[in-house]
Amino acid sequence: MTPAKIIRAARTLLSNPLFINAYVETVDGRVRPVNWGDDINDHFIRLLSGREIAVYFDTPVAMALKRPNYLCIGSTLNYLTTPQTVVWGAGVIDDTLEMRARPARVTAVRGPLTRDYLLARGIDCPEVYGDPALLLPYFYKPASALPRAGGRIGIVPHYKDQGSPTFAALRQAHPELDFIDIASYGTWTDFIDRISACDAVFSSSLHGLIVAEAYGIRNHWVSVSGNVLGNGFKFRDFFASLGKTTAGPTEIDMGFDPKAFLASRTWSPGRIDLKKLLAACPFEIVEPIRHEHPLDL
C-alpha cells in the first residue's frame, strides 16, 4: 500500500464512516461509475446518513478489526455477507447458491423470496421489504429541466447487455427512444432524471425498473440475452415486494415495437409500506423527508 493510500485509509477510519458492503469501485476516494445499481450504495447512503462512506472490502483495517458493515442496495447476499454484516434491503441473486457467511442481523430484505431463502437457513428475518432505492422520492425530486415528454419511452439495458445486437437494432429502428446508460450515467441523479422524464420504461436492469417504479413511471421487464445472472430471481423478488406477480420478462427481438406493446398491455403501480423500511434502517437517517412518495400506502 502506498503512503498516500495509508494516509487516506487513516483519514477514513478517523471520520467514523459507515462501512458499506457493495460492488462499488473507487479511485482516489471517489466512486468510479460502473453500475448505477451498485454505485448508489455510496451516493444514497451518504445522503441518508450524513456520514462518510467506506467500502468494506477496500478497507483492510476495518476487515481486520471486524467492524460492522451494511448490505443495503443490491443482489449481494450470496457473495458479500460476513459475520459482521447487517442487512437492510439487500437481496439474493440466485436461490440455488449459498451465502459465504451468516449475517449478524437482518432488519429488512428486498422481497419475500429473499426472506424465504433466509428463513429456510434458520436466519431470522422480519417481514419488512423493499430495495432502499425505492426510498429515493422521499429525498430527491427529479430536475425540472427534464419535464416528462408525452410519449417518451426509455430503454435501460443491463450493463451486461450494453453490446446487445437487439438493443442496437432497436435504437436504429426507433431513434425516438431514450436509451439510458446504467454504466455511464453522469451524476447519480442524472440517471433518475432521465427515467422520471419518461412515460414508460423498458429495462433488462433491475434498478431501471426500481427507479421507474419508485417515481410512478410505467415499467416493463425485458430480456435480450442470458447474460443476467440468477434466472430472474431478483426480479421476481422485487415484484413480490410490491404485491405483484410476474411470469417472467418479455423476450424482445430486433422487430420489437415498444409503442405497440404498450398499447396492448396494461400496467398499475405496486404497493409497499416504505415507512416500515425507513423505520428498519440500522443506522441513523439524518436527511429529512422532503417530498411525498408515489407508492405511499
| Phi, psi for residue 27 in degrees, rounded to 5 | -130, 120
Check residue 288 and report its DSSP letter.
P
pLDDT at 149: 56
Show me where the domains of the chain are located. 3-131, 138-264
pLDDT at 74: 97
Q: Provide the pLDDT confidence category of residue 177 given band limits of 50, 70 and 90.
A: very high
pLDDT at 144: 63
pLDDT at 56: 92
pLDDT at 9: 64
The answer to whether 129 and 110 have CB atoms below 8 angstroms apart is: yes
Share of the chain above pLDDT 90, in %: 82
| Phi, psi for residue 239 in degrees, rounded to 5 | -60, -35
The mean pLDDT value of the chain amounts to 93
Distances (CA, A) of 210 to 13, 41, 70, 124, 191: 33, 14, 20, 26, 12
The answer to whether 91 and 75 have CB atoms below 8 angstroms apart is: yes
Give the separation between CA 70 and CA 103, rounded to whole angstroms.
Answer: 10
CA atoms within 13 Å, Cβ hemisphere of 201: 33
214-253 pLDDT, tens digit each = 999 999 999 998 888 899 999 999 999 999 998 899 999 9
Contacts of 255 (CB under 8 A, 6+ apart): none
User: Is residue 258's pLDDT more than 60?
Assistant: yes
pLDDT at 39: 97
Q: Provide the pLDDT confidence category of residue 64 given band limits of 50, 70 and 90.
A: confident
CA 258 to mean position of chain CA atoms: 24
What does the pLDDT average to over 38-48?
Answer: 97
Q: What is the largest CA-CA distance in the chain?
A: 61
Q: Please give the residue that has the higher pLDDT: either 58 or 45.
A: 45
Predicted TM-score (pTM) of the model is: 0.94
Closest CA to 278 of 12, 60, 50, 48: 48
pLDDT at 16: 84
Burial class from Cβ neighbours inside 10 Å (0-12, 13-18, 19+) for residue 39 reads buried
pLDDT at 143: 81
261-284 pLDDT, tens digit each = 999 999 999 999 999 999 999 999
* Cell numbers for 159: 450493463
The answer to whether 200 and 218 have CB atoms below 8 angstroms apart is: yes
User: Is residue 1's pLDDT more than 70?
Assistant: no
CATH number for domain 138-264, candidates 1.10.1760, 3.30.70, 1.20.272, 3.40.50? 3.40.50
Q: Please give the residue that has the higher pLDDT: either 52 or 143.
A: 52
pLDDT at 186: 93
Q: Provide the pLDDT confidence category of residue 15 given band limits of 50, 70 and 90.
A: confident
74-124 pLDDT, tens digit each = 999 999 999 999 999 999 999 999 999 999 999 999 999 999 999 999 999
